[in-house]
Chain A
Amino acid sequence: KNEVEQSPQNLTAQEGEFITINCSYSVGISALHWLQQHPGGGIVSLFMLSSGKKKHGRLIATINIQEKHSSLHITASHPRDSAVYICAVTQGAQKLVFGQGTRLTINP
C-alpha cells in the first residue's frame, strides 16, 4: 500500500463544476503539499499546509491531521484547470513522498 493515496485517479468534468480531489496518507508528516503538473510537464506548487485550510483564487486546500486526509477543491472549474494534481507529504526534514496523481480534464 502506498504511503500517499489519491482519489480519483482520473476525473472528467464540465466547465463550471465544483471539483474535489482527495488525498490520504498513512505516515507522520510535517506538511502536505498540493502540486499541479500541466501537459507540458512543468510542476508548480499550489499549496503547502500543516493544518486547517488555505485558499488561493478558485483553489481551496484543507487538511485534517487526525484523519490523515486532505482535499483540494476547485470552484467554477475551467478548461485551463486541466492538469495532473499531485499530493505529496513531507516526512522528517524536507523529504517529499508523492501520491500517484489525479488527472483532471475539464471540458468546455
Chain B
Amino acid sequence: DAGVIQSPRHEVTEMGQEVTLRCKPISGHDYLFWYRQTMMRGLELLIYFNNNVPIDDSGMPEDRFSAKMPNASFSTLKIQPSEPRDSAVYFCASSRLAGGAYNEQFFGPGTRLTVL
C-alpha cells in the first residue's frame, strides 16, 4: 500500500483565499484524522471521522475551517478565508479498529501551508 497520501505537499496563498487540503487514507482503514502542527502549540487534533462520519470536531479552531469525507477513500480540509495564523503543517492520519482493539495511526507526509 502507498500509505496515507496528502496533497498538495506545499501551499502558499494570500490572506483571504480559500485553501483546500486533500487526503487519501490507507485502504481498509475506517478512521481518519486531521492534525495541525505549529511551533507554538505542537500537534493538535482538529477533527476525526469514523466510517466517513465526523465523530469529534472540537479541535476545529473556528467556522473558517471545515472538513468532509464524502467516501472511504477521500477527505478534504478547507479553510475559507485563510489567515496568516493558519500557517502550519497539516497532517492526515488513518487507522483501523480490528478485533475490538485500537491500532496505531499511520500519518501522511503533511501539507505545509503558508498564508501571507
Is B109 within 8 A of A41, CB to CB?
Answer: yes
A48 within 8 A of B: yes
Scan residues 31-46 of chain B and give those whose CB is less than 8 A from a CB of chain A.
31, 33, 35, 42-45
| Contact assessment for B109 and A42 in the assembled complex, using a CB-CB cutoff below 8 Å | yes
Please count how many residues in chain B sit with their CB below 8 Å of the partner chain's CB atoms: 25
Chain B neighbourhood of A45, CB < 8 A: 104-107
B-contacting residues, A21-52, CB 8 Å? 30-31, 33, 35, 41-45, 48
- Cα–Cα distance between A93 and B100 once the two chains are bound (Å): 11
Nearest A residue (CB) for B48: A94
Q: Is the interface of B mostly helix, strand, loop or mixed?
A: strand
CB-CB under 8 A from B48, the residues of chain A are: 94-95
C-alpha spacing A31/B55, complex, angstroms: 19
Chain B residues whose CB sits within 8 angstroms of the CB of A35 once the complex forms: 107
Most A C-beta atoms less than 10 A away, residue of B93, B97, B105:
B105
Cβ A98 vs Cβ B44 within 8 A? yes
B44 to chain A, nearest CB (A): 7
Known: A41-B109, A94-B95. A48 touches B42 (CB 8 A): no
Residues of A within 8 A of B45 (CB): 95-97
* 8 pairs of residues in contact across A and B, judged by CB atoms under 8 Å: A33-B105, A43-B91, A43-B110, A45-B105, A45-B106, A94-B48, A95-B45, A100-B42
